[in-house]
Amino acid sequence: MPPQSDENNPPAIRFADACRFWLKLGFISFGGPAGQIAIMHQELVERRRWISEQRFLHALNFCMVLPGPEAQQLATYIGWLMHKTWGGIIAGVLFVLPSLFILIALAWAYIAFGETTLVTGIFYGIKPAVTAIVLQAAHRIGSRALKSSALWVIAMLALIALFAFDVPFPIIIAGAALCGYLGGKYMPDKFQINLGHGDKLQTYGAAIIDDHTPTPPHAIFSWRKLILIVLCGAALWLLPMSILIVLQGWNGTLTQMGWFFTKAALFTFGGAYAVLPYVVQGAVGQYGWLSTPQMMDGMALGETTPGPLIMVVAFVGFVGGYTKAVCGPDMLFLGGALAATLVTWFTFLPSFLFIFAGAPLIETTHNNLNFTAPLTAITAAVVGVIINLTLFFAYHVLWPHGLEGKFDVISAVISLVAVLALFKFKRTIFEVLITCAMLGLLWITATHYM
């Protein structure tokens, strides 16, 4: 007979129940990191009481410091805390696996049917919406992060560095970190830390992992465990990379994808919108795996599917693997699916390692973890980077044939509709994308029959 629960004695967490929840989360995790974290809080803290509010926020603050998708890392952390390493692996994998399969299917449909009036019209309307969505992300992050004049200067310098001089993204991140380190040392009042998750903790009754629940044995830090995790992580990265080098050489498409997205995973401070300029710079500008319009279409698909927005890298991988025919001209779909899977592996592997390596130290110390001044400066630089991405997308939307071509008035109107819907009327991203897609479809259909 299963254990009974009441207000003060919640039942134990069964591994099967946790697996079912993580799978369900993988299919319903819309709304970006804020929406995904809200879903986990509602389910795990409020309804199921698997973890207390304080422990939940303790884990979240740690994940916010790390590069990578914080919502997926939070799921991995809580899964690990409840059911050891396999619990964390299953939680993290199921968080992204549904979106991987969905994006592979959508990417194939996009390539196969992208020239039809229906698909052309939908994406004609979606591109201006994506520009407005990225602008909203810059506003949202900037309003939270730019709390001093020094941080505003860092944001502007990052924008100028990218827009005017095309400085590589990692150099901007490194420069911001250095400014933050020096600023925190000599102007600490200009680099105040604010996590933005509220100061008041609520209680929802006793939780299985409560505020004063002792740290489980598997969550206690030890150097032996840390070394083992690092060695396993290195092996899991080196094995597929070595196979790719043997089969394709260092300059092969799949090899370069693996290396490029490994670097991308290590520079995603500030969430997916922070790494997207780096992906655009490399995947579009340097390697030519896809075009700018295709990248914008991929972002739209990423916004409308469950899972972290950074899963747009699966779309990039599929389109690149498909167009480059990495498995030969007779197996284009297989090449695209293989590239999407490999890109996802190299992008998310570091996130698992960060959790498994760092979480035991966080759980053992139980100290409050704060942002450091360098990370505060990086977040400020990310605002400038995202504004540059907005300008980049706006240029390609409003002047699709370059400045010597015509200004696209209809795209400008759809962009304005999207901006008003997001900023003034506070509509959701999904609602804005659907509305703009319908407007684009109506216009393309009308012009087709004129």
pLDDT by residue (tens digit) across 72-126? 999 999 999 999 999 999 999 999 999 999 999 999 999 988 778 888 899 899 8
Neighbours of 413 (CB within 10 A): 13
353-379 pLDDT, tens per residue?
Answer: 999 999 998 777 554 444 467 877 887
**Can you tell me the distance from the alpha carbon of 128 to that of 164, in angstroms, rounded to the nearest whole number?**
23
Residue 30 confidence (pLDDT) above 80? no
275-314 pLDDT, tens per residue?
Answer: 788 888 899 989 999 999 899 889 888 877 888 888 999 9
Q: Mean pLDDT lowest for which of 90-99, 161-170, 331-340?
A: 161-170
Q: Which of 65 and 325 is assigned the larger pLDDT?
A: 325
- Among residues 248, 293, 278, the alpha carbon closest in space to that of 347 is found at 278
Tokens matching residue 120 = 């052309």
Neighbours of 188 (CB within 10 A): 11
Q: How much is the pLDDT for 20?
A: 94
Give the phi and the psi of residue 209 in degrees, each rounded to 5: -100, 90
Return the ∠ at Cα 49 (arms to 55 and 16), rounded to 5°.
105
Three-class SS string for the chain? Answer: CCCCCCCCCCCCCCHHHHHHHHHHHHHHCCCHHHHHHHHHHHHHHHHCCCECHHHHHHHHHHHHHCCCCHHHHHHHHHHHHHHHHHHHHHHHHHHHHHHHHHHHHHHHHHHHHCCCHHHHHHHHHHHHHHHHHHHHHHHHHHHHHCCCHHHHHHHHHHHHHHHHHCCCHHHHHHHHHHHHHHHHHHCHHHHCCCCCCCCCCCCCCCCCECCCCCCCHHHCCCHHHHHHHHHHHHHHHHHHHHHHHHHHCCCCHHHHHHHHHHHHHCCCCCCHHHHHHHHHHHHHHHCCCCCHHHHHHHHHHHHCCCCCHHHHHHHHHHHHHHHCCCCCCCCHHHHHHHHHHHHHHHHHHHHHHHHHHHHHHHHHHCCCCCCCHHHHHHHHHHHHHHHHHHHHHHHHHHCCCCCCCCCCHHHHHHHHHHHHHHHHCCCCHHHHHHHHHHHHHHHHHHHHCC
Q: How much is the pLDDT for 368?
A: 41
Residue 416 CB contacts under 8 Å (≥ 6 apart), including other chains: none
Q: How much is the pLDDT for 244?
A: 97
For residue 145, name the pLDDT band (cuts at 50, 70, 90). confident
Tokens matching residue 443 = 């216009």
Neighbours of 89 (CB within 10 A): 17
**Highest averaged pLDDT of the listed ranges 178-182, 220-224, 412-416:** 412-416
Residue 247 confidence (pLDDT) above 60? yes
Spacing of C-alpha 404 from chain mean position: 35
Q: How much is the pLDDT for 290?
A: 94
Specify which residues 51 forms β-bridges with.
209
Question: With pLDDT > 90 as the criterion, what percentage of the chain qualifies?
Answer: 47
Q: At residue 203, what is the residue type?
A: T
Q: At residue 277, what is the residue type?
A: P
Q: At residue 223, what is the residue type?
A: W
**Can you tell me the distance from the alpha carbon of 250 to that of 204, in angstroms, rounded to the nearest whole number?**
54
**Highest averaged pLDDT of the listed ranges 5-14, 199-208, 229-238:** 229-238
Q: Please compute the mean of the pLDDT values over residues 249-278 and round it to a whole number.
A: 86
* Average pLDDT value for the chain: 86
**Can you tell me the distance from the alpha carbon of 143 to that of 352, in angstroms, rounded to the nearest whole number?**
30
Give the phi and the psi of residue 408 in degrees, each rounded to 5: -85, 95
Question: With pLDDT > 70 as the criterion, what percentage of the chain qualifies?
Answer: 90
Tokens matching residue 407 = 């200004």
408-433 pLDDT, tens per residue?
Answer: 999 999 999 999 999 999 898 888 98
Q: Which of 168 and 108 is assigned the larger pLDDT?
A: 108
For the chain, state the CA radius of gyration: 22
Tokens matching residue 342 = 């490999």
121-138 pLDDT, tens per residue?
Answer: 998 998 899 889 889 888
Return the ∠ at Cα 164 (arms to 158 and 169), rounded to 5°.
45
